[in-house]
Amino acid sequence: MDINLSLYLICHHGDSEEVVKDAEVIRRVSLEKRVPVTYFFSGIEINALAENRWKIRDRLGVDVVGEMWNGAFINPRFGYHNAYLSEVGIMPFHHIPLVQPWGQDLWEDYTNFFLWDDISFSMKRARDVLGKIPVTIHPPDGIYSPAVAYALKRMGFDSVVVSSERFGSQWQKGFLYWASGLRHLVRANELQLQDARFSDAGRFVYEAREFAYRNGTSFVTSGSDIDEFNGMRGLSINDGIARLCSVGDQAMLQGVRMINCNAASHWNLKQAGIEDVWPWNNVYSMIDDGGLDFVDVGRNAWLNYLEHSAADRVRRGWDINEARGRLEQAADIALRNRYFCFSGWLSSYFEDNARAAQRLLCA
């Protein structure tokens, strides 16, 4: 059985120094080593790459943004397919969730008036800055429900990487799941490359092979935050990059084929409807145990109210562009994270934007 391994990294920085670190990972892993990683960029990070393009070139000696624009990354919408090159994936611009937690009565308005708008920003920046039309999307912190699949398909996506903590067994993670014409890749969350037990990347590849054999699948998807490898968390940037590069070497030695997420979402013949394992309206997360306990209920309720008000104003013919911009900034999932509720500038940023949106909508 041929084993296919897909790695992805989540990139969500806006700070100039942080984005240089991310660019160093891209340069050494995808441009030099040619390990086919899928990078999920928020629109905020794409903006930061554009703003710091020449700083990155001067610091690293390579125009990373220009290389990404050129042939080092695939561009499926323009016929440039290659399973063995890296891929530009996308997240919403302001890190808003791909479905509003605890607001099923608002999901239609949320999708039409906010999600579409925010994702369009990211798509435009990917096209203008990186020369790519992304076809694969990742939910910020994994907040997702199959009920949003149709909207994402209409926005032009082929596939989404979803969380798997709540799936009943490892075996269920070997499938490619369908909903409303959208392919769902499932992360094998048991395999986290940044874990200390994978200091030898060969063990990671070996365990990916064993995971595949044990669960009767040819496809294994694993992903992490790029912070784990760019020196911002446990690993130094050199150790993090070395581990990512070593996975490419070890995959070749162990007969594992490394491919990007786009290829994985088209090649897997082991397929099922997502409703078989994930109820249509259930919202899960990528982090922790897949639950939503990290979301601050009070802040989320406030945003629910504002989103409902904004949609109502649109139907009544109001111009809500300024209010929507403020609301999208306040809706960043990090600002709803209860662990950050006592962080000074994050709380101020949330409250300032939420209050501004409320003033504009209640004028």
Instruction: Give the tens place of pLDDT for each residue, 219-236.
Output: 999 999 999 999 999 899
Look at residues 243, 276, 309 and tell me which one is the last residue of a structural domain: 276
Question: Does residue 53 belong to any structural domain of this protein?
Answer: yes
Tokens matching residue 360: 């504009």
Q: How many domains does the chain have?
A: 2
Lookup result for tokens 């084993």: 3
- List all residues 6 or more positions away from 270 whose beta carbon is below 8 Å from its beta carbon: 174, 175, 176, 216, 217, 218, 219
Boundary residue ending a domain (247, 276, 305): 276
Report the C-alpha gap between 60 and 42 in whole angstroms. Answer: 22
341 shares a domain with 213: no
pLDDT of amino acid 363: 67
Residue 285 lies in a domain: no
Higher pLDDT, 334 or 229: 229
Residues 266 and 205 in one domain: yes
pTM of the model: 0.96
Weakest-pLDDT range from 125-139, 158-172, 267-281: 158-172
Specify if 128 maps to a domain.
yes
Based on the domain organization, do 237 and 168 belong to the same domain?
yes
| Average pLDDT rounded to a whole number, residues 309-319 | 93
Q: Which domain holds residue 326?
A: 297-361
Question: How many degrees, rounded to 5, is the angle at CA 95 between CA 259 and CA 156?
Answer: 55
Determine the Cα angle at 229 with ends 223 and 233, to 5°: 105
Phi/psi of residue 63, each to 5°? -80, 85
Q: How confident is the model at residue 6 (pLDDT cuts 50, 70, 90)?
A: very high
Mean pLDDT is lowest, of 133-142, 158-167, 246-255, for 158-167
Asked if pLDDT for residue 113 goes beyond 90, the answer is no
Check whether residue 125 and residue 212 sit in a common domain. yes
Q: What is the pLDDT confidence band of residue 298, given thresholds at 50, 70 and 90?
A: very high
Are 318 and 187 found together in one domain? Answer: no
Q: What is the pLDDT of residue 262?
A: 98
Place of tokens 């120094």: 17
**Position 282 in a domain:** no
The pLDDT confidence band at residue 165, using thresholds 50, 70 and 90, is: confident
Q: Evaluate whether residue 286 is within a structural domain.
A: no
Asked if the structure places residue 288 within a domain, the reply is: no
State whether 301 and 270 are in the same domain. Answer: no
Which whole number is the average pLDDT over 254-278?
Answer: 96
Residues 231 and 322 in one domain: no
The predicted structure's pLDDT at residue 285: 92
231 plus 305 within the same structural domain? no
Q: Is residue 253 part of a domain?
A: yes
Partners of 151 in beta bridges: none
Same domain assignment for residues 205 and 321? no
Instruction: State yes or no: pLDDT of 118 exceeds 70.
Output: yes
The answer as to whether 291 is a domain residue is no
Residues 244 and 302 in one domain: no
Confidence at 164, pLDDT banded by 50, 70, 90: confident
Q: Check which CATH number belongs to the domain holding 187 and give it.
A: 3.20.110.10
Could you tell me the two tokens for 353?
């934007």
Alpha-carbon distances of 258 from 85, 159, 191, 240, 262, rounded to whole Å: 9, 18, 15, 18, 12
Percent of the chain scoring above 70 in pLDDT: 99
Q: Check whether residue 39 and residue 162 sit in a common domain.
A: yes
Provide the pLDDT for residue 339: 85
Q: Specify whether 227 is located in the same domain as 346.
A: no
**171-214 pLDDT tens trace:** 999 999 999 999 999 999 999 999 999 999 999 999 999 999 99
